[in-house]
Structure 1
Amino acid sequence: MTASAAAAVPSLPTLPGRRAMLVYGLLGFAAGLPFYMFSTVLVLRLQAHGVALTVLGFFAWVQLLPTLKFVWAPLLDRYDVPGFARFWGKRRGWIMLAQLGIVTAMAAMAWTSDDASLPLTALFAVLLAFWTTTLEVAADAWRIELFPTQDQQGPIVAANLWGYRSAMVAAGSGALLLADHGGWALAYLAIAVAAFLPFPMLVAMRPDAARGGGRMVALATGVLGGAVILGVVAAVTATVGYALLQTAASIGIDATSNVTPWVLGLCMVPFLAMAAAVPWIRTLPATHRARTSTAIGPYVDFFWRYRTAAIVLMAFVSLYRMGDVLALNLSKPMIKELGYSLSQIGRADGVVALVASMVGVGLGGWMVTRRPMAWALAVGAVVAAIGNFGFVWLAHQQVSEAMLYVATGLDQFGNGFAGAVFVVYLSLLVNPRYPGAQYAFLTGFAFLLPRMLAGAGGSMVGVIGYDGFFLLSGALSLAAIPILPALTRIRARKDDA
């Protein structure tokens, strides 16, 4: 990779409104497909191969990788991808590389679809999560640079989430139907092809700031350079994963371990670290090394701008989507245990989920353009909680596809509505000087606590049962509402540089 000078707002192509919505709809589609394949679909695949419930919970920690994207997000603001960036610019260059990574990882997951080696399955799932997250970081940075205001963010976020929700249907419904009739390998290969659809569109778009060489030369250079980067990332991931497995084994963690107390303890570490650092950060001058650093400067800037109120903001964002994240990983295994087939689950995740989530996303995107943000956030929390409580209701009904449609519709409407409002809110907290890194940090932290707890979800169900688990997830969806009055009084400090 080659370094490029950091700029407050990098050069970007001007996208007309309809074209922007099309682009972001497709990018949401490309990101949503693989997410479902390393989360919900993977859990069902492992369950079909007889993997224990506790281990299924451990696989939820693959979803922790997106919460850690702030670790490498500054690299996407600072560096270019060889070949791609010289013709298509920084943001599109990273998006194109990420798509190559997604297709490669998905093909590898198809190759290991028998799950004979769980460590190998985990490796490819982690790689898929890494490249999916990288795609989201680059696309979010591009979106925030192009559309900085609340009125602009509403429609573009809705388009992006419409694409994402459509992908959830394609992955959640289409992949399960394919798996039921043609096997898991076919399902993963088909979704890999669909996830690659935006790549030709990006190649065909006009250049951003071509610096020598034609389109085909840039494409060939980018593919070759990308292959090297993909190989390096895979080797590093395998090495780190092996070390973690050896460490876990050495301290006695296995499929029967109750890791919930350890998880809760680890969840407290980021809060304690932030609380300790904020009094120091708020006094730093603009020239201080911590504020100018490529690695940590964007994050220090966030705490400098919001001072002690940053702790309130981080508490809120970590709570707001907790219920939905906890429910995501174990809702399908619960439904399967109730007696529903993969085809029935797939049909429920088809038209019903698509329509419900589209309506939820549309109403959420509309509400942020018409109502105060705190009001929209409160409504989102309530409808998300109702969606979680719907699974408790479903567990006490006769097995009926119609009842499954009702529960799925409630869940997807609440998830879509709350998701649209939340994305706009987080985008408005970001300093436009660091759109990629700060948005990655906020969204990553937003899901850190929920996904760490989700990894212990199997253990929790063993203690409190599915009813208790989904009652808890619904209650947690409401837990952020008492913080909303404090949010309305928070204002960011203006830059001093």
Structure 2
Amino acid sequence: MTEAAAPVVRPGLGRMALYVLLGFSAGLPFYMFSTVLALRLTEHGVGLVVIGFFAWVTLLPTFKFLWAPLLDRFDVPGFARFWGKRRGWIMLSQLGIFTSMTAMAFTAADRSLAVTALFAVLLAFWTTTLEVAADAWRIELAPTQDEQGPIVAANLWGYRTAMVAAGSGALLVAGSAGWTDAYLLIAVAAFLPFPLLVAMRPEVEGGGGRWVALVTGIAASIGILAVTAAVTAAIGWGVLDLAVWAGISEKTNVTRAVLGVCLLPFIIMALMLPKIRRAPPTAWFRKSPAVGPYIDIFWRYGLGALAILVFVSLYRMGDVLALTLSKPLVKSVGYTLFQIGRADGAVALLSSMAGVALGGWLTTRWPQAWTLTLGAILAAFGNFGFIWLAHQAPGDVVLYIATAADQFGNGIAGAVFVVYLSMLVNPRYPGAQYAFLSGFAFLLPRLLAGASGSMQGVIGYDGFFLLSGVLSLAAILFVPIIGRMQPRAPDHETI
């Protein structure tokens, strides 16, 4: 985190356009298994506590470090032979996104919440896998902070544009034609980048013919998608049986239990740190391809790694909590799907893009501590805006102001946060370490988001959104600490 002046390196327009496309690919599905799904369940009479449980679907991206090493180590048959490792995984993920969202479209009546949950989890899994591959590629292509700022802004422009388009478009279509058509529309839109990737030049010299690679890749992908769906269904069945056995229902207040679970990762990591710091480069856990990339973070930062993880957990916590109940709140005040859809259109899109652009620009000119602090403050005020909205008579202007404040704050906070996480990564393990850091950043917030319905029942909407904003501001307390941290010098480990 040095603040010395350095020449600004600007990536080419081709690379910027590529990451707008990749951000678009990953952003379209996100609202469909989170915010839009929460509104869909609300329309079908599902209670807030159960809707809160569905927020745990968004936990899946926080565990992406469990399978991220597979993306660094293995290729997708067929696709990788012509388009390379990273693009191969991106293409497989797009097929997974399309099939999962199509399945959600044809089960849009939500007659079985278990089936709805299954396809939502699959959609979250393949969306996350696409992000892992794209993030690893981004860090490889742009290893410095000056390069990261513009390319992160381009990626988030695509991502947030797609999120807003998906949310707004889905709600407008659902309001007139129903949820099935809404999900089918977004599924088709999410698949549009696939043929563009197919048309791109080969990455692997002598990789064989394009069409042979495509047919082989699609055949292999069908098998991988089927196995993934079967394994997910089996695990889900076991989890539901365990929940029934534990007596968890829509009347259960899980807040205390979730808070207890949130403390476990920090306790475990604190106990392991002394052994990790003393470990020589020949230690099996430092050489292991499965856990070595993650151990490296704690070996390099020591006790500072705990401060980093507390900071990243707090930084986006308010936004994650607000995302879970913001649309149910707006709906409860009296706004229609059409009004929410219009607000999620141009207003949210322009505000988000402005925030991302400002955040990306500031990372190339301001010290990192300043940009992180500004992002936390603006994100908190975006959350407080929902309290103001709840006490105003329903009207388009009120909704537009609250939406703009929320999206602008999220945009700038998201941009500076991605750059910060990227600079923590050891370039030797770009995919695995970024997956771990970005995943852990949302682990505790999304655990708490699953208890959001229970929390709202106790403290109300005002208390809930006040808490979400205060948690964003709390991250600022750690900025002076993390701003002075420097990683430990390498000890020439051979892995």
Shift, 1:255, TM fit? 1.1
Aligned to 1:250: 245
Aligned counterparts, 1:177-216, within 5 A: 177-216=172-211
Q: Distance in 2 between matches of 1:452 and 1:413?
A: 25
Aligned to 2:274: 279
> Could you tell me the TM-score, scaled by structure 2's length?
0.97
Aligned counterparts, 1:140-179, within 5 A: 140-179=135-174
The answer as to whether partners of 2:373 and 2:476 remain within 8 angstroms in 1 is yes
> Could you tell me the TM-score, scaled by structure 1's length?
0.96
Q: Deviations over 1:17-45 (max 9, x none)?
A: 11111111111111111011000000000
Q: Does 1:467 align with 2:452?
A: no
The answer as to whether partners of 1:291 and 1:300 remain within 8 angstroms in 2 is yes
**Greater than 3 Å deviation, 4+ residue runs:** none
Shift, 1:279, TM fit? 1.0
Letter of the 2:42 partner, please give it. Q
Q: Does 1:259 align with 2:254?
A: yes
Q: Does 1:338 align with 2:343?
A: no
Letter of the 1:67 partner, please give it. T
- Aligned counterpart for 1:380 among listed residues 370, 375, 379: 375
Q: Distance in 2 between matches of 1:216 and 1:64?
A: 37
Aligned to 1:368: 363
Q: Distance in 2 between matches of 1:24 and 1:200?
A: 16
Aligned to 1:301: 296
Letter of the 2:143 partner, please give it. P
Letter of the 1:319 partner, please give it. L
Q: Deviations over 1:417-437 (max 9, x none)?
A: 000000000000000111000
Q: Distance in 2 between matches of 1:263 and 1:107?
A: 32
Q: Distance in 2 between matches of 1:266 and 1:488?
A: 28
The answer as to whether partners of 2:35 and 2:324 remain within 8 angstroms in 1 is yes
Q: Distance in 1 between matches of 2:147 and 2:484?
A: 23
Aligned to 1:350: 345
The answer as to whether partners of 1:127 and 1:237 remain within 8 angstroms in 2 is yes
Aligned to 2:354: 359
Aligned to 1:10: none
Q: Deviations over 1:100-157 (max 9, x none)?
A: 0000000000010000000000000000000000000000000000001111001000
- Aligned counterpart for 1:397 among listed residues 386, 392, 404: 392
- Aligned counterpart for 2:230 among listed residues 231, 235, 244: 235
The percentage of aligned residue pairs carrying the same residue is 69
The answer as to whether partners of 2:29 and 2:190 remain within 8 angstroms in 1 is yes
Q: Distance in 1 between matches of 2:311 and 2:459?
A: 26
Q: CA RMSD in A?
A: 1.0
Q: Distance in 2 between matches of 1:369 and 1:208?
A: 30
Aligned to 1:7: none
Letter of the 2:300 partner, please give it. R
Partner SS for 1:409: helix
Aligned to 1:327: 322
Partner SS for 2:327: helix
- Aligned counterpart for 2:26 among listed residues 5, 25, 31: 31
Q: Distance in 1 between matches of 2:229 and 2:205?
A: 30
The worse-fitting range, judged by mean Cα deviation, of 208-217 and 62-71 is 208-217
Q: Distance in 2 between matches of 1:227 and 1:143?
A: 27
Q: Distance in 2 between matches of 1:218 and 1:278?
A: 46
> What are the ranges of 5 or more consecutive residues in structure 2 without an aligned counterpart?
1-9
Aligned to 1:58: 53
Aligned pair count reads: 483
Aligned to 1:477: 472
The answer as to whether partners of 1:64 and 1:452 remain within 8 angstroms in 2 is yes
Letter of the 2:332 partner, please give it. E
> What are the ranges of 5 or more consecutive residues in structure 1 without an aligned counterpart?
1-14
Shift, 1:278, TM fit? 1.0
Q: Distance in 2 between matches of 1:212 and 1:491?
A: 42
The answer as to whether partners of 2:11 and 2:147 remain within 8 angstroms in 1 is no
- Aligned counterpart for 2:77 among listed residues 78, 82, 91: 82
Q: Does 1:94 align with 2:93?
A: no
Q: Distance in 2 between matches of 1:345 and 1:495?
A: 51
The answer as to whether partners of 1:107 and 1:188 remain within 8 angstroms in 2 is yes
Shift, 1:198, TM fit? 1.5
The worse-fitting range, judged by mean Cα deviation, of 256-265 and 116-125 is 256-265
